[in-house]
């Protein structure tokens, strides 16, 4: 025989406060007031208790990540932008399910599953830009955002063409603008392939040497390390930007220095892990200022 589950009593202190105060009020009214007033009071308290129980249940469901499907539009209605996207997606799904062609349905469901996975990734705080330079729009917004005061960058320079195109030069001008205006403190570690900074040469080769020196002239804190020096820690080979404690950006380039993928993550734990990677990488790197001083002394 199937056992019927008995609903658990609410655990919210607000519920019990209303219950106890309401009970005391009803008992006092019963002792000193008319029957009609007592009935009205009981009705009002019952309605308030029901509403409170409903709210406690709803909040509990949200806290556990199990909010009811019917609650979704109610919560999204508080955000006009997201509610509009929800409405558009819902209407599109309704149109899809009205087409009964089995080939159409199977093809559409496969595509929708991919889109669903992408939305889940976005919900987890990660935005991925594939094969495009449009990530630089988000890059600029982050660097200009109020409250951001520190930008730590690791530039993995595999060829002399690194950030030498117009989008890269524009991003550097943005760094100079914000750093010179004391709106943002920029720190950069440059990992250089041995062909860009050969062993035995005091400074990297052109045009990367000029690219690095210009940053130094603008007062940007900059350190250098040869890629070969990181053989024991290959996980430090990364092209990334740490935007305060707010976000982490990882750039992947092809051999022609075109962006293959840029991943932007708004996850505090991921950002904290990147900060630890930065600290380890800094141990291997040498200050560009020190290199210049040593080079000048030798001259």
Q: 130-298: CATH homologous superfamily? A: Endonuclease Chain A (3.30.870.10)
pLDDT tens by residue, 65-121: 445 666 788 888 889 999 999 999 999 999 999 999 999 999 999 999 999 999 999
pLDDT tens by residue, 215-269: 999 999 999 999 999 999 999 999 999 999 999 999 999 888 889 999 999 999 9
Close Cβ partners of 264 (under 8 Å, ≥ 6 residues apart) = 126, 127, 128, 129, 135, 138, 247, 248, 249
Domain residue limits, the chain:
13-62, 74-123, 130-298
- In which residue are the tokens 């380039």 written? 253
- As a three-state string, the secondary structure of 175-191 is HHHHHHCCCCEEEEEEE
What is the pLDDT at residue 66?
47
pLDDT tens by residue, 39-77: 655 555 565 566 555 655 555 554 444 456 667 888 888
């Amino acid at each position: 025989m199937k056992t019927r589950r008995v609903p658990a009593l609410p655990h919210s202190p607000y519920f019990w406060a209303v219950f106890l105060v309401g009970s005391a009020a009803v008992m006092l009214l019963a002792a000193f007031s008319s029957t009609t007033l007592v009935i009205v009071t009981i009705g009002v308290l019952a309605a308030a208790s029901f509403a409170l129980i409903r709210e406690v249940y709803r909040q509990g469901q949200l806290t556990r990540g199990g909010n009811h499907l019917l609650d979704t539009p109610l919560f999204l209605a508080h955000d006009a932008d997201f509610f509009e996207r929800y409405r558009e997606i819902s209407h599109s799904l309704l149109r899809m399910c009205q087409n009964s062609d089995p080939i159409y349905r199977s093809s559409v469901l496969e595509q929708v599953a991919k889109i669903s996975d992408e939305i889940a990734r976005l919900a987890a705080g990660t935005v991925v830009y594939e094969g495009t330079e449009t990530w630089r729009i988000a890059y600029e917004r982050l660097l200009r955002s109020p409250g951001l005061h520190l930008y730590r960058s690791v530039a993995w320079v595999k060829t002399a063409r690194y950030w030498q195109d117009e989008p890269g030069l524009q991003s550097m001008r943005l760094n100079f603008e914000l750093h010179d205006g004391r709106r943002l403190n920029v720190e950069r570690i440059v990992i250089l392939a041995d062909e860009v900074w050969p062993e035995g040469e005091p400074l990297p080769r052109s045009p990367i040497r000029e690219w690095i020196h210009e940053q130094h002239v603008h007062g940007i804190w900059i350190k250098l390390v040869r890629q070969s020096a990181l053989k024991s820690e290959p996980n430090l080979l990364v092209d990334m930007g740490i935007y305060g404690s707010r976000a982490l950006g990882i750039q992947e380039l092809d051999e022609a220095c075109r962006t293959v993928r840029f991943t932007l993550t708004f996850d505090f734990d991921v950002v904290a892990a990147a900060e630890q990677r930065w600290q380890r990488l800094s141990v291997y790197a040498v200050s560009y200022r020190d290199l210049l001083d040593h080079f000048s002394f030798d001259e």
